[in-house]
Every structure is written in structure tokens, then in C-alpha cells.
Amino acid sequence: MPEGNGTVALAFSGGLDTTVCVPLLKEEYGYDDVIGVTVDVGQPEYEFDEAEETAEALDVEHFVVDAKAEFADLCLRSVTANADYQGYPLGTALARPVIATAILDVAKEQGCSAVAHGCTGKGNDQLRFEAVWRDSDLEVIAPVRELGLTREWENEYAAEKDLPVEGGDGGRYSIDTNIWSRSIEGSELEDPGTIPDDDIYKWTENPDGKESELLEIEFEDGIAVAVDGEELNSVDLIQTVNETAGAHGIGRTDMMEDRMLGLKVRENYEHPAATVLLTAHEALEGLVLTQEERQFKAQVDQQWSHKAYQGLIDAPIVEALEGFIDSTQERVTGTVTVKLEGGHCRPVARDSEYAVYSEEAASFDSEDVTGGIEQKDATGVAKYHGFQSRLAKQVTAKVKANKENEAVADGGDPESQE
């Protein structure tokens, strides 16, 4: 462990874990001073108020960094890769590198000799934070993991030290919120057989009785830039779609997630805007990209998403993947209209000047098609289509029949010749 005699920058939320980390960094690690850094990626305002109040009560210098725009830009960029992990849009995974980088910047500006987080040794966030921090000369400290702390121990320690925490953890669920997603886990939700109450959701309403609504999303080079004809910056666009789609109950995920360390956990997520934008973007790609591009891009998207889930968005492989993604997005410009209804979002209209589509060629009512192609031209293709498979079956049947005939001629059992 480090000898101390310096200042450590702590990723600070004001919750139980980071609150107990403050005295522990001084008592167990010998640091002279602790500063708290909270990074704004779209959390509710009350979380900043609580963090500020807790920092003041602990006599900790508190820094708040506004990274909403940077994070929102990354979220919209993730849409170009149709990014998801095991079926849900990436949220926390995208936020952690942004948060870690902001904390590292403050730590360097304030002359800190170390950075610290309150993550446990069982989750993904420890790896995402440290992937950024370990690329610096600062010491990396993880008190909860390194000291093997449990929630029970932390509660007792907080009571003993009279630390400013509400009932230990301030609620029965572990909730992480940013502008792109809201995750809910813990308590009875850890039982996969438990059906969650609707009150765990804050962004998405019960859609019963809600009339359907159409929403038009405009893209430029794969990036969403406008909603219903109104151009918006990345933060406002995401917030607008979150509110509109959330009112229709869109964007709920209840899943068993495989974490990086191999643990399987039950997670509940809300992500209205992410669901709508990913749905619309994929629909536009379906209009403007060729079949081969779509097939290959699915593999590229999967690799991009996997690295993003790991928090490694700056890895060399990601830069290479984005070279292909960016080249395809040059034509992903146009509008998509989606229908919001009953907790679901589906594309109902698409338009782009780059559409790889000919209405005349596809129409059942026209023979005058692009390229001079006529229906009868497909006859030759139809004859060849499946030819090899048909031939293989014919050859197999012929060989089998010959063996059976030979066996009968020899007075044997045809089955024994198989």
C-alpha cells in the first residue's frame, strides 16, 4: 500500500461506499488529504445536492465536472455502431470512461498523487475506471475491494464514525442514472424469480390507455440531429426523446447479464431515447446500405459494443472498427418516422437521398425497371438456385438405391449394407 503524505482524488457520489472511503484513505492508506470529484453525465439534481452536503460534512473539497455534452456525443456515436450488450443499450459502460477521464484531469490539476474509487471487486466499474487511470503515473486505490469490505461492515463503520449516510445506503436498490440509461439492481431484484413492481421505474410510464404517437428522427452521417424537424444539440435531443418515449413505456429491459468477471446478475434498465434512436438508425441503415455492408457491419458493431462494454473505447481495435463504421455512415443521412405505442417502438417510414432502393424495380405493377431488368430475366436464376442441393440429394438417393439393389441380388439384407 502507498505510504501517503499526499492528496488522493476520490470518485465521489456521497453514497455509502464513497463516504466510508474518505476516512479509510487517511486511516488505512496514510493520505494527508482527500478531494471528492463528481462528474455530471445526466444524474438527477438531488444527487449533486446530496454529494455536496456529504462532502461538506466530511470536510472534503468537492469538485463537480459537467461532462453531459461529451457523454451525450458519445452516446449518439454509439448509435452509429448500433451498440448494445446482450440486448440492452450500453449506458453505464459508456459513462465510466468519460467519468474516469474527468476525475483524472482534476487529480492532475490539483497535484494529486493517487486516484481512488469505491467499487467492489465483483462488478464491471472497477475495470472501466482503472483502464483509464492505469494509463497515468498516479497510484490507483480501491479501498472496498482491497480491504474486502461488505455493506454490513460499512454500515457499522459509518455508525461508529458518525458519518453522514442515511440508513447506510439511502435506499434498498442500487441505482445508477445518466442521460442515456437508468439501472436498478439489488434487494429483492437479485432473485431472478421476483417480478418487479412498477415503482422501480421512473423514466417509463405504464402505457395502458396511452394513444400512439409518431416521432420523426433526422440523421446526418449516422448521428441524430433533429426530432420532428427541430434541430437539437445532443443533450437536448436525448432528453426530448427520453421524455416522449418514456411516456409510452418504451425502453424497459429486465435481463440476466453476464459481467466481465463471469458473474451472472439480474439487471433492470430504462433507456427510452436509446431504444428509439437505435431502432430508427437501424431502419435507416436498412434503406441505404447494401446487403453485404449490413452483414459485415453486424460483426463490426458487435466487436465495437463488446469493447465499449469493457470500457475500452480508446483501444486501437476500436479506432480501426470506427474506420469502417464511419465510411458506412457517410450515407446514413435521412429521416425515419417511428411509431410509439404500447411500450413498443417500430419504424413506419424512411426517407433518404442515398436509398439503395428502386420503387419501379420492386413494384409488382411495373415492368419498366432500372437497369433494363425484366421479370423473365429471373428464370435462369431460378433454375440455378438450389441446383447443387438438388443434385446432391439425387446422387445420394441413386447411390442408396444401387446398394439396396445389389444387396437384394446377393440375397442379403439391404440394411446390413448401410
pLDDT for residue 360 is more than 90? no
CA pair distance 379, 185, nearest whole angstrom: 58
In the residue annotation, 236 being an active-site residue is answered as no
In the residue annotation, 377 being an active-site residue is answered as no
What's the pLDDT band for 374 if we cut at 50, 70, 90?
A: confident
Tell me whether residue 2 is in a domain.
no
pLDDT for residue 197 is more than 80? yes
pLDDT for residue 15 is more than 60? yes
- Choosing from 151, 174, 254, 294, the catalytic residue is 174
pLDDT for residue 406 is more than 80? yes
Per-residue model confidence (pLDDT) at position 2: 46
Q: Do 13 and 135 fall into the same domain?
A: yes
CA pair distance 21, 19, nearest whole angstrom: 5
Tell me the whole-structure pTM to 2 decimals. 0.90
pLDDT for residue 315 is more than 50? yes
Per-residue model confidence (pLDDT) at position 354: 97
86: domain CATH number is 3.40.50.620
pLDDT for residue 413 is more than 80? no
Contacts of 350 (CB under 8 A, 6+ apart): 283, 284, 286, 287, 334, 335, 336, 337
Tell me whether residue 221 is in a domain.
yes
In the residue annotation, 84 being an active-site residue is answered as no
Tell me whether residue 146 is in a domain.
yes
Average pLDDT along the chain: 92
- Choosing from 125, 169, 176, 301, the catalytic residue is 125
Q: Do 166 and 183 fall into the same domain?
A: no
Tell me how many domains the chain contains.
Answer: 3
**Residue 349 is inside which H or E element, if any?**
strand 344-351
Of the candidates 132, 156, 176, which is a domain's last residue?
A: 176
What's the domain range around 415?
374-418
Q: Do 269 and 231 fall into the same domain?
A: yes
Would you say 26 and 5 are in contact if contact means Cβ atoms under 8 Å apart?
no
- Tell me the mean pLDDT in the region 210-238: 98
In the residue annotation, 174 being an active-site residue is answered as yes
Per-residue model confidence (pLDDT) at position 167: 40
SS (H, E, C) 57-75: HCCCEEEEEECHHHHHHHH
Of residues 172 and 228, more confidently modeled: 228
